[in-house]
Amino acid sequence: MSGLVGSSESWEDAAAKAGDVIRRVVSELTDAMAPWHAFDVLAWLQRANAAPAETYQESTHEGLSALVELAGLILMERSSAEPTAAPSGTDERIDAVEVAELCHRLDSGLRQILAAGQLLNLARHVSDDIGWELRYHLAEREMLLRNLGYPHMQERLLRGLFGAPDIVSALSATLGFTIDDALAVVAGLQQRIENAYWNGILAGHKHLRASHDHPKSVADATTRRRKANTAANRRAQSQNLADAAAIVSDRLGQRIAVTANELSSATGVENTAVEAVLKLMSRPIGGTAAAHLVERYLHGDNALRLQAVLHDPDHGYFPVSIGNLLFGLREMIEDALKTHPAFNSYAKHRGDWVERAASDALQEVIRPEQIYRNIEFVADDGKAVESDALLICDRVAIAVEAKAVALSPRARSGDRARVRRDMSRIVADTVHQADRLRHAITSDGHLRVRGQDQANIDLSDVRRVFPIAVTLEDVTSVTGSAAGFVDAGILPSRRGLPWIVNLQDLWVICEIVEGPAQLMHYLRQHEETVTLGLVTASEELDLFMTYLNQGLYFGDYLDADGNPTIGFFTLSMTDTLDAYYLHKTGQRKAVAEKPSQVWSPKAFRELVKHLEQHRPDGWATACLNMHEGDRGARNQIATMMRRLARRSRLDGLPHDEMRLFGQSQPGAFGVTGMSVTPRDDIEVLRTKLLTLCRARKYMARTSSWTGIGVVSNAPSKVAVLVQLDEPWAPDPAMDHLVEQMGLRPFDEVAASRT
């Protein structure tokens, strides 16, 4: 946007200047594309902005699908896909150099339009009222961001939403196709693109081979090698390569364009179903002024965001963006169903399915001892409150609230009233329900359940409650963090906000985490990060990958009162995650390992895995404590147990050590390790460890303390776990115990050994 805004200009002046730039560039690009077939131009731009799966990295990839969409909107002004001006040359074959120059010119001009459009968007929304940033980011996302998810998970979601027998029947009756038909058509269009491209590659190779006579003798070969060194021959070789590239590009879009009959034959889907799907997905080329379509696009209303197929009766259907089709399919089907009575049953199914899918994903990782679904409990004010799912894992409760509400088109474009309405329904209502459930658990220690034989659910042992608000829409990518909804006035406070996550990101995270302890720790650190307002991320998975790569520890950036002294924005962090899923889904041949928290020491992992497997009382909060540190802290805990065990093996005596982490901070906790020999009584170990942990916790005035007892011949296996999670309070009896034990203060020793 450099040069569009002067230091003394008003927003109105800057917007007017940006509008002039947009109109001028649209006119220039219209003229530049005039000699070319519309489908060819779009196909070339697709290739110019695509990256091979083998080398794709989001952090360095500069291509934008938005550029292809913008070009498509400009080309829609034509009455047909045919060129509107005479071609520059007379050669039947397209010159690859001209194609490259055209793509470069279009790239530059389209990016100018996007930059000016961002300024227009900012000028339109910037104000002193609360929430303008949210409206601005919503419209900006509609311009620039697409497909915030993985295709195979989007297909899983679509089949879950539309694959139930009664929904299948409703789709067939009202729209003329099933979700499997629609997905087959999208896959068929994708295959058509790939076939056209690779057929061009093969033709190029064939052309190169035919352009060289094979040497009949060694002498001929030597002569040819000498000639290859001449400038003329180098120019000829360059021309051969250019010709080969031209064959790849030559009429690429026209070769991609397909009829309904051809697509039916390729996919095996009935022709009538293919036609019904294409009718839903496509727009006719022609009939609308380019300037108008581009203006609407820059207001967050993109004609090709959902219906991303252009149709010319003489040339067939051309897919402008496969991603838009796949990720817009849900909206297109829902919009088509809204006028039919079947929509009500679908809406109920959608809500139930999202709730079930979210709780199932969490249940598979957490493996809770208890799970309650669709319970109705009585809140403090006597009102009945519903909860979608409650998972109890040791002393940790995970409360799930799911919301399947969709954003309206007007909200996507930044409309003030619709943004507040939709975001309140999707975010605020869900957060409010989750917060009431957490308050009921932490204040009462039980839930008074209505409509069940069991009047109460005893939750007196629960020490941590993590509410999760699961959405069908990806709303956190709008604000960068849940705290953004507080700044927009959608939520009242960032204190204790639940984890707001869309279903597909939840699926990814549940697949990648190494176990329940790691997932619960991510919930804990996520909550603290949001509460402090330290980090903003463009999407949830960037924050999750930051957690995997380095943790979300920001103690060095807090002042004495625990307030942040700086703010962070995470850049794209999903390269390894993208590579893993590209390989897993067969799009990438090179092996890409599943991302993991490699900085966790091996001995630490073994200790955690043993606790997860055997689950002694208090294991969940113990694991939360043990994870709350960097590699050095985790290494201290793990090596402490091995060192104590080694000492017991050498002298046959019990030994113990202590570590205090986060001293003088609200989340301070301690870990005491103790080892005994196989000859010692485990119950004696339990009694000694409990006494020592109680004394140390009291001295440190912390609310949590973990004690780990091991037998010297098995230091990675927890023989005794002591987990104290009660709030600290003065206690004369504990004062006497500490005095009797003669324990030294923490500021005198880094570790205490007896």
Domain end call among 575, 593, 622: 575
Task: Name the helix (H) or strand (E) containing 370.
Answer: strand 370-378
Residues 353 and 436 in one domain: yes
> Which amino acid makes up residue 489?
G
Residues 133 and 200 in one domain: no
> Which amino acid makes up residue 457?
I
The pLDDT assigned to 30 comes to 96
The pLDDT assigned to 709 comes to 96
Number of structural domains found in the chain: 4
The pLDDT assigned to 146 comes to 67
Predicted structure pTM score: 0.90
For residue 321, being part of any structural domain is answered with yes
Residues 391 and 459 in one domain: yes
C-alpha span between 637 and 707 (Å, rounded): 11
At 551, is the pLDDT very low, low, confident or very high (cuts 50, 70, 90)? confident
The pLDDT assigned to 665 comes to 67
Tally the residues of the chain. 754
For residue 63, being part of any structural domain is answered with yes
Q: Tell me the pLDDT tens digit for each residue of 519-530.
A: 999 999 888 887
The pLDDT assigned to 691 comes to 95
Contact 224, 218 (CB under 8 A): no
The pLDDT assigned to 750 comes to 47
At 240, is the pLDDT very low, low, confident or very high (cuts 50, 70, 90)? low
Q: Tell me the pLDDT tens digit for each residue of 634-656.
A: 888 889 999 999 999 999 999 99
For residue 302, being part of any structural domain is answered with no
**Mean pLDDT score, 687-712:** 94
The pLDDT assigned to 753 comes to 39
For residue 652, being part of any structural domain is answered with yes
> Which amino acid makes up residue 741?
M
**Mean pLDDT score, 9-14:** 81
User: How high is the mean pLDDT of the chain?
Assistant: 86
For residue 227, being part of any structural domain is answered with yes
The pLDDT assigned to 754 comes to 38
Residues 360 and 434 in one domain: yes
- Provide, rounded to the nearest whole percent, the portion of the chain with pLDDT above 70: 88
What the block records as the tokens of 188 is 């068929």
What the block records as the tokens of 216 is 């009949």
Q: Tell me the pLDDT tens digit for each residue of 68-78.
A: 999 999 999 99
For residue 482, being part of any structural domain is answered with yes
**Mean pLDDT score, 573-586:** 94
C-alpha span between 496 and 658 (Å, rounded): 31
How is residue 587 annotated by DSSP? S
The least confident of 168-182, 292-306, 323-337, 564-578 is 564-578
C-alpha span between 155 and 183 (Å, rounded): 8
The pLDDT assigned to 212 comes to 57
Residue 45, pLDDT above cutoff 70: yes
Residues 393 and 533 in one domain: yes
**Mean pLDDT score, 685-702:** 93
For residue 102, being part of any structural domain is answered with yes
Residues 6+ apart with CB under 8 A from 498: 399, 401, 430, 431, 434, 435, 438, 466, 467, 468, 469, 482
The pLDDT assigned to 378 comes to 79
Torsion of CA 243, 244, 247, 253, to 10 degrees: -110
Contact 603, 642 (CB under 8 A): yes
Q: Tell me the pLDDT tens digit for each residue of 210-220.
A: 765 444 444 45
**Mean pLDDT score, 692-697:** 94
Residues 6+ apart with CB under 8 A from 60: none
- Provide, rounded to the nearest whole percent, the portion of the chain with pLDDT above 90: 51
At 487, is the pLDDT very low, low, confident or very high (cuts 50, 70, 90)? confident
Q: Tell me the pLDDT tens digit for each residue of 375-389.
A: 888 777 777 878 899
Residue 327, pLDDT above cutoff 80: yes
Residues 136 and 208 in one domain: no
Domain end call among 273, 305, 337: 337
At 239, is the pLDDT very low, low, confident or very high (cuts 50, 70, 90)? low
At 693, is the pLDDT very low, low, confident or very high (cuts 50, 70, 90)? very high
Residues 79 and 44 in one domain: yes
Residues 483 and 562 in one domain: yes
Residue 485 or 388, more confident: 388
What radius of gyration do the chain's Cα atoms show?
A: 31
The pLDDT assigned to 314 comes to 94
Residue 472, pLDDT above cutoff 70: yes
Residues 561 and 695 in one domain: no
How far from 276 is each of 160, 318, 456, 466, 754, CA to CA, in Å?
A: 21, 16, 52, 45, 79
Work out the angle at residue 538's Cα, subtended by the Cα atoms of residues 107 and 627, and round it to the nearest 5 degrees: 145
For residue 751, being part of any structural domain is answered with no
Residues 329 and 382 in one domain: no
Residue 562, pLDDT above cutoff 80: no
At 131, is the pLDDT very low, low, confident or very high (cuts 50, 70, 90)? confident
Q: Tell me the pLDDT tens digit for each residue of 596-648.
A: 998 889 989 999 999 999 999 999 999 999 998 888 888 888 899 999 999 99
Residue 249 domain boundaries: 151-282+313-337
**Mean pLDDT score, 415-438:** 85
Residues 29 and 87 in one domain: yes
Contact 700, 724 (CB under 8 A): no
Domain end call among 93, 113, 144: 144
Q: Tell me the pLDDT tens digit for each residue of 700-746.
A: 889 899 999 999 999 989 999 999 999 889 999 998 888 888 887 66
Going by their DSSP bridges, the two strands 384-393 and 370-378 should be labelled as antiparallel
Residue 707 or 63, more confident: 707
How far from 162 is each of 304, 503, 518, CA to CA, in Å?
A: 23, 16, 33
Residues 326 and 429 in one domain: no
Burial of 693 per CB tally in 10 Å (0-12, 13-18, 19+): buried
What the block records as the tokens of 299 is 């207001």
What the block records as the tokens of 400 is 């799930």
The pLDDT assigned to 1 comes to 45
